[in-house]
Amino acid sequence: FKDLKTRFGIASRFTPHVMRHSCATALLENDASIKHIQELLGHANLNTTQCYTKVEKKHLKEKLRKINW
């Protein structure tokens, strides 16, 4: 990962963990189900997935309302 970052001039603070967060956020913002994202990330608790995705609260609340609790 470090070699690829150097080769493509990617910032040093970009890590696999940051990429994981970014992918989860992008999936949510593009209408993926938060439950599917939870499963993809391997989270046992949906709250963990919520913390993992950095989206506007309004957008997240809208998605969560679609889940039948």
Determine the Cα–Cα distance for residues 17 and 33; give it in Å rounded to an integer: 21
> 3-class SS at 55?
coil
The one-digit pLDDT tens for each residue of the chain (69 residues) are 888 888 888 887 888 888 888 888 888 888 888 899 999 999 999 888 887 776 666 766 776 777 765
Q: Is the whole model's pTM more than 0.85, yes or no?
A: no
Cβ pair 35, 66 in contact under 8 A: no
